[in-house]
Chain A
Amino acid sequence: MTRRAALSALAVPVLSRAGLGAVLLALAVLAGVTIGEVALPLGLVGDLLAVKLLGIERALDPIEAGILWSYRLPRTLVAAACGAGLALSGVVLQALVRNALADPYLLGVSAGAGAGAVAVTLLGLGGGAIGLSAGAFGGAASAFLIVALLAKAAGGGPAQLVLAGIAGSQLFNALTSFFIAKSANAEQARGLMFWLLGNLSGVRWPDVSLALPVVGLGFLVCLAHVRPLDAFSFGSGAAASLGIAVRRVQLVLIAAVTLMTATLVSLVGSIGFVGLVIPHAMRFLVGPRHARLIPASALAGAVFLIAADIAARVLIPGQVVPIGVVTALVGAPGFALILIRNRRRS
């Protein structure tokens, strides 16, 4: 009975925090759909929701409604999914490899996904969003495998992992450039390069229906593993002696990270630093325990990427800056801070 009492005592703060998170996310989405080159009134959002979801008749400006429904809303939702997915991937990788510098971008997973997606696009190995995602998944998984094996062969230390990640990123970025140089015409090349920098401009509803379920699933997998992730704090040996099936947990979580990263890269290109900086900022705010860190990072990643997308749209009037540029502008100094903090600790 005490267990049940504990459960209900825990349920109240958990629910109120989840509620707070939902409100924050809703506000960010609201900002994402209303702010932009054409500022849209808040009232339009309510009217549009009434029309689309409740079927109530309202007189709407068709152009404004079209921008909001067909462009801004899917774009903002994918930005949210992308931020959440990348931040989750960062948290999980940092815990599993016990390295503060681990994230899908630095470990070459994003580069692998990019190379896989480009290969599928240019070599015509199956088409469509699913084919693209499958190619990205294959690339991401092979990149992760190569980096992990290289790091292990090099001695398995934290520095070796980061160096192996750099080698992997360079290799797969080179492959991407090679594929583009070999097979793309000028127009394709320009499009691919822009996409690789991270770009949400082309996002439409079908992308939402791929990104949201994948990231939702990844989030649930991470949530189900908060205790195993905590148990990795003292290394995989300690985790095993705490009753964690280390191999299985590593496999499931790395599969989830690879799936999320690959899907997101295939949709919006490779967006750096979110997976690195957001988890560290959240550790600072909510502490290292994953029961809080996982939801906090997912929320913060979502809100951060929505904000970065808004900045990308309004920073230079009349022009869209690739979102990867915005996240790097914020992320690189954040990365520097982590490096300095780590040096102090060791």
Chain B
Amino acid sequence: MRIEARNLGWREIVRGVSVEIRKGETFGLVGPNGSGKSTLLRLLAGLMPRAAGEVWLDGAPLAQLSRRQIAQRLALVEQFADTGEALSVRDAVDLGRTPWLSPLSPFGPEDRQIVDRALAAVGMEGMAARAWATLSGGERQRVHIARALAQEPRVLILDEPTNHLDIHHQLALLGLVAALPVTVVMALHDLNQAMMCDRLGVMSDGRMVACGKPAEVLTPDNLARIFRVRAQPMIDPSDGSTLFRFLPMETST
């Protein structure tokens, strides 16, 4: 599913962001803390009240779709979503089926299979009966992603999905996301991980200041200007891919 955003804005947090995300693309959002990444993701999901600008999903204006229609197309995994309810892992993932259910089509065997597949995709199939309160931060994150997968979206929006995850699960998750046949938009903290995206948008102070292929966008120049680090590109001889080593900026005084 193609996403087009024009002149998105919300208060002073996000200002005049226009971007086009292609069908099936894995689009990364990077930027320093407080640069507006999370707000931009929420704007793309149509979740911010009194937002400026417009979003189209495959040409259909988001503002004209009902919440339910949006949720059938687009799933969002936010940071820090927690619950005090004594839900099990399966209960939490079942919630992903919400936009597809109605009194006339209650939760059925198909829905159960979809939930099973979503649990398996994040490696949580053996923990379906575990209580939410007993999960680690990384396990909770994987359950949230399974919940989003159970929504069967065509656009998956993830806010720093690798937070809380150990390195094995970080790589597994990025591999899973890259292999999904859906459009993915995700905020990422780790710039080396951002290199695996098809394209990147760089946020700084509420604006998208650069957008393009990772190698074109994450130049030492941009990194110095936006992230205030000195980046040393290094080539991995085994596959020729670029890695960054980050160093503090030399102080001018």
Which residues of A does B touch, CB under 8 Å? Answer: 2-3, 5-7, 10, 98, 100, 224, 227-228, 230-231, 233-235, 237-238, 240-246, 283, 287-289, 342, 345
Contact = CB atoms under 8 A, between A and B. Distances in A.
B97 to A, nearest CB: 9
Contacts of A243: 66-72, 98-99
Given A238-B78, A242-B98, A243-B68, A6 B106 contact: yes
18 contacts: A2-B109, A5-B109, A6-B106, A6-B108, A233-B85, A233-B95, A234-B95, A237-B78, A240-B67, A241-B71, A241-B74, A241-B75, A243-B67, A243-B69, A244-B67, A244-B98, A246-B67, A283-B85
B76 A241 contact: yes
A184 B67 CA distance: 51
A100 B85 CA distance: 9
Contact of B86 (A230, A240, A246, A288): A288
Contacts of A6: 106-109
B191 interface: no
A287 B99 contact: no
Contact of A242 (B82, B87, B95): B95
Contacts of B82: 234
A182 to B, nearest CB: 43
B111 to A, nearest CB: 8
B108 A3 contact: yes
B40 interface: no
B151 A242 contact: yes
Nearest to A10: B106
B105 interface: yes
Interface string B52-79: 0000000000000011111110111010
Q: Name the 3 nearest CB pairs between A and B, nearest first.
A: A243-B71, A6-B108, A243-B99
B78 A245 contact: no
Given A227-B98, A241-B47, A243-B99, A7 B106 contact: yes
Contact of B45 (A241, A283, A288, A289): A241
Given A6-B108, A231-B98, A345-B84, A224 B47 contact: no
Interface of B: 42, 45, 47, 66-72, 74-76, 78, 81-87, 91-92, 95-96, 98-99, 101, 103, 105-110, 133, 151
Nearest to B42: A237
Contacts of A100: 84
Contact of B91 (A3, A235, A288): A288
A242 B96 contact: yes
A284 to B, nearest CB: 8
Given A3-B108, A241-B45, A243-B98, A345 B92 contact: no
A289 B93 CA distance: 13
A72 B95 CA distance: 44
A240 B66 contact: no
A327 to B, nearest CB: 25
A238 B81 CA distance: 8
A227 B47 contact: no
Contacts of B151: 242
A236 to B, nearest CB: 10
Nearest to B76: A241
A240 B65 CA distance: 13
Nearest to B108: A6
> Which has the most chain B C-beta neighbours within 10 Å: A245, A283, A288, A342?
A288
Contacts of B108: 2-3, 5-7
Contacts of A7: 106, 108
B84 A98 contact: yes
B141 to A, nearest CB: 13
Contacts of A342: 84
Contacts of B85: 233, 283, 288
Nearest to B151: A242
B245 to A, nearest CB: 37
A209 to B, nearest CB: 28
A227 B86 CA distance: 16
A3 B104 CA distance: 9
A288 B88 CA distance: 9
A279 B184 CA distance: 40
A234 B83 contact: yes
A244 B74 CA distance: 13
Given A227-B101, A238-B81, 12 more contacts: A98-B83, A227-B98, A234-B81, A235-B81, A235-B83, A241-B47, A241-B74, A242-B99, A243-B69, A243-B72, A246-B67, A345-B84
Query: Which one of A10, A98, A242 has the greatest number of beta carbons of chain B within 10 Å?
Result: A242
B160 to A, nearest CB: 16
Contacts of B72: 243
Contacts of A246: 67
A255 B101 CA distance: 24
Contacts of B133: 345
A190 to B, nearest CB: 43
Contact of B68 (A5, A245, A283): A245
Nearest to B144: A234
A292 to B, nearest CB: 11
A212 to B, nearest CB: 23
Contacts of B86: 283, 287-288
